[in-house]
Amino acid sequence: MAKGPDGKNTSGRGQRDLTVKVKTARGRRASSTRWLQRQLNDPYVKRAQVEGYRGRAAFKIMELDDKFRFLVPGARVVDLGCAPGGWCQVAVPRVNALGQKAGKAQGRILGVDLQEVEPIAGVEFHQLDFMEDGADDKVKDWLGGKADVVMSDMAASSSGHKQTDHLRIIALCEAAAYLAFDVLEEGGTFVSKVLAGGAEGELQKLLKQRFTKVANVKPPASRSDSSEKFVVATGFRG
């Protein structure tokens, strides 16, 4: 039976699918109306509400982990760009961050974001711009050792210019990858959001040198009309 992050059964809750139509309103732009309409009718948005996740992004990491199995009990995880905390919510039970799974190793989750994050039991949050000078040293200090997973969903707010957004996200992804190279345990996993758009070739080359397998995945929860995809690099060579 499906369970939310609060441990309650969620099957059977909120199953009705009523399409919500949003009327245009004075002062609201057509693009905002379209966004609102899509948001109100998005099954993942509804599922996140029903299952108690802070956002639909939770289902992306869930689907990636169901396929690649990196969030295992005992894993030490760094979550970059973690606000509002959906990925962390998924990671807590999977890595046994609260030590509730008897006989299984207890994991650890370190979340970092520009924005403040409401606390989640089992997660240590730090507010930080990961692109500022010395940010990776701060994360290494907080971590105080190795990590098994470095995952990044960092995304700068859209500039409206596709190529600029693409370059920005690649820069965020590269910064996350360099942290991963420094802190990952041999065999560790790196997961990062990227945008399909051409400039990611260098990054892929770099990852292929440092990991045994590099996969590019578009999980079902990632909107089909977005150029977002995820790179999952497993088997860090150390």
Ligand X SMILES: C[S@@+](CC[C@H](N)C(=O)[O-])C[C@H]1O[C@@H](n2cnc3c(N)ncnc32)[C@H](O)[C@@H]1O
Q: Catalytic positions, please?
A: 193
**CA count, 13 A, side-chain hemisphere, 151:** 31
**CA count, 13 A, side-chain hemisphere, 79:** 28
Least distance CB 21 / ligand X (angstroms): 27
Contact 63, 220 (CB under 8 A): yes
Contact 125, 84 (CB under 8 A): no
Q: Among candidates 156, 142, 84, 135, which has minimal Cα distance to 109? A: 142
Nearer to ligand X, 62 or 214 (CB): 62
Least distance CB 186 / ligand X (angstroms): 26
Contact 78, 150 (CB under 8 A): yes
Nearer to ligand X, 22 or 171 (CB): 171
Can you tell me the distance from the alpha carbon of 152 to that of 2, in angstroms, rounded to the nearest whole number? 26
Q: List phi, psi (to 5°) of 95.
A: -95, 0
Nearer to ligand X, 138 or 235 (CB): 138
Nearer to ligand X, 86 or 93 (CB): 86
Q: Specify the 3-state DSSP secondary structure of 64.
A: helix
Nearer to ligand X, 125 or 236 (CB): 125
Contact 97, 122 (CB under 8 A): yes
Which residues here bind ligand X, judged by CB under 6 A?
Answer: 54-55, 57-58, 81-87, 112-115, 129-131, 153-156, 172
Q: Specify the 3-state DSSP secondary structure of 234.
A: strand
Q: Among candidates 111, 114, 119, 194, which has minimal Cα distance to 149? A: 111
Can you tell me the distance from the alpha carbon of 73 to that of 108, in angstroms, rounded to the nearest whole number? 9
Q: Residue 76's beta-bridge partner residues?
A: 108
